Amino acid sequence: MTSLAERLRAGAYQAYAYAYPHKTAYRDLPEPVDLASLWAGEDRSQLFAYLHVPFCTYRCGFCNLFALGRPADDLVEAYTTQLERQIANVGRALGEHRIVRFAIGGGTPSYLAPAQLARLFNAAQRHLRVDVARVPAGIEVSPETATRERLAICRDAGIDRVSMGVQSFVDAELASLVRPAQRDEVVRAIGDIRALGFPTLNLDLIYGIPGQSAASLVNSLDSALAFAPEELYLYPLYVRAKTGLGRIEERRGTATDTRMTLYETARDTLLDAGYTQVSMRMFRAPHAPAQDGPAYCCQNDGMVGMGCGARSYTRRLHYSDHYGVARASVAQILREYVDAPADSFAYARYGYALDAGEERRRYVIQSLLTWPGLDERAYAARFGSAAFDDLPQLAELVALDLARRDDATLALTASGMAHADTIGPWLVSPVVQARMDTYAAR
Ligand SMILES: C[S@@+](CC[C@H](N)C(=O)[O-])C[C@H]1O[C@@H](n2cnc3c(N)ncnc32)[C@H](O)[C@@H]1O
Ligand code: SF4
């Protein structure tokens, strides 16, 4: 395994470790896994239900999420119907369970027609018994689709968090990202979100955009802060294979990497404005609602993903549909999803089976990269062993002052947080890494 010092020399932006193992490590499973038996062996008292809607008004140049821009209306309708069927099937497979967190993401779920959105909320309520009004429940929206009518349906259903992609308030930077300029729509949508009383507004911004300077980034941050969002996500730009920007970069070559300087500027601006840093990307405002209720704990609990492109996590198996980025691949995978017989949703066919070592590694990665860090006692209670015995490489973090160990909690320092996209990939096991390296992007 490469030392952390060596990894750091390879650059601060190696990969976003938002899930472990990464979806590019998933493969066809040796045989289909029956979901009812799989979930029967899990703690189903604190589950996260996630619905994926892989449609957007346009396909942004930077985006490698599983999403299709400008889909045909009949595909969107067929997808909604199929997703309702899948929700019913998964609800049956889960049996007795309790959902403590709910989200509908994408893509852009607000691309759906108001009536289609309402159908999905009803299906979640009916088949999964999600009490949307009582559990933390979020939706991802783009500015132009976040219409008053759709937002009202979300608010009536009980959605309490709206997350909107803005990326930049500077038109020239949106052009560099191959995303339409829409400041007026952003302002209008935020006005509607506020008028309807959603407790949490999150805005996404990107840094490291070609042509972006520290001054223009601060300008975007100031524009965002004027709306007092309860949360703000700051994403470093990654130019990935099969995306519009990926193709442009192949022709023009790689631009100078300005991300670390911009990150430090943005982080300090948000800290000065009173925001708390939760992870490398996430900042929370002092006026954000308290996180109460039965807490979903991502490193411990199950995730039930529905819709094409959604991932599901049990302790020992992570599964999803196939994954693609290029338009033709996404379209083909969506076709297969829409045409699948309803009973096919009773099985998992593609994913990653975690052994005991991977399960522990996942717990460490998920906890360490988020404030307040890795609770060594909670780890020992869960696995019956010590995190530093299982992963002795963690000592390197302390030696390099990227993390501190106080009262049995291993927490990233400011420098560690800035290097989360190096630390995450460094913690990937050789087996998972080998799978990721042999994944053929499509
Ligand atoms: C599901 S979208 C947000 C909602 C909506 N689809 C929109 O774009 O307005 C997820 C977010 O991921 C971020 N993102 C996606 N791909 C990225 C990339 N290659 N580099 C940096 N950020 C990226 C963007 O900030 C984007 O807003
Ligand atoms: S950034 Fe959002 S709107 Fe743009 S393609 Fe990705 S999911 Fe769709």
State pLDDT tens for residues 309-326.
999 999 999 999 998 889
State pLDDT tens for residues 103-162.
999 999 999 999 999 999 999 999 999 999 999 999 999 999 999 999 999 999 999 999
- What is the Cα–Cα distance from 147 to 192, expressed in whole angstroms? 8
- What is the Cα–Cα distance from 42 to 226, expressed in whole angstroms? 44
pLDDT at 206: 98
pLDDT at 299: 66
Q: Which atom of ligand 1 is nearest to the CA of 105?
A: 1
Between strands 200-207 and 231-236, the pairing is parallel
Asked whether the predicted pLDDT for residue 424 surpasses 80, the reply is yes
Residue 318: its H or E element: strand 317-320
244 C-alpha to ligand 2 centroid (Å): 12
- What is the Cα–Cα distance from 188 to 368, expressed in whole angstroms? 38
Q: Which residues line ligand 2 (CB under 6 A)?
A: 56, 59-60, 63, 65, 67, 106-108, 142, 165
CA angle 143, 134, 19 (to 5 degrees): 60
Percent of the chain with pLDDT over 90: 93
The answer to whether the predicted template modeling score (pTM) of the entire model surpasses 0.75 is yes
53 C-alpha to ligand 1 centroid (Å): 14
Nearest to residue 53, comparing CAs of 110, 91, 135? 110
Nearest to residue 310, comparing CAs of 38, 103, 98, 85? 103
Tell the residue nearest (CA) to atom 3 of ligand 2. 56
254 falls in which pLDDT band (50, 70, 90)?
confident
Q: How far is CA 196 from CA 149, 253, 315, 356, 400, in A?
A: 11, 45, 38, 46, 48
Q: How far is CA 168 from CA 33, 204, 206, 414, in A?
A: 43, 9, 7, 25
Query: For the residues 223-229, what does the mean pLDDT come to?
Result: 98
409 C-alpha to ligand 1 centroid (Å): 31
Average pLDDT, the chain: 95
